[in-house]
Amino acid sequence: MNKTITALVAALMVCTAGAAMAKCDCADCYKKRGGGFVEGEPQISTVKQAMSMADDSIVTLQGKIEKRIKKDKYVFQDATGTMTVEIDKDIWNGQTVTPQDTVTIGGELDRDGQHTKLDVEYLTKK
């Protein structure tokens, strides 16, 4: 009986995780699944909107990377303001980006007290 319950719980967990992933249409979910078709464009937010969102929110921004602060931290700017973004070297995917280039970035907001940054999970150059 205990084995049956354990098997049912495990099956339910796999099913629930699959259903949650299937409903997600963010680029990060597609990246984790190895790519795929995305119907429509992601909802673009502004820096101003992102700064008022909750910790761990998934955000897509469009604008320019103005400068490097240190190692993997940069200043990102759009028409509404600036914010710190963290871009690991593998996210660049061989792309060269200058302050004149417009990019679309997406990732997860990391709020720590008064500081907010975006942990970038994908970057595309326009």
For every residue of 26-66, DSSP letters joined together read SHHHHHHTT-----SPPPPBPHHHHHTSPTT-EEEEEEEEE
Q: 24 lies in which domain range? A: 2-32
Is pTM beyond 0.75? Reply is no
Tell whether 23 and 85 lie within a shared domain. no
- Give the tens place of pLDDT for each residue, 79-121: 999 999 999 999 999 999 999 999 999 999 999 988 999 999 9
- Give the tens place of pLDDT for each residue, 18-49: 333 333 445 545 554 456 676 667 789 999 99
Tell whether 60 and 101 lie within a shared domain. yes
CATH value at residue 86: 2.40.50.200
In angstroms, the CA 124 to CA 55 distance is 23
Tell whether 28 and 51 lie within a shared domain. no
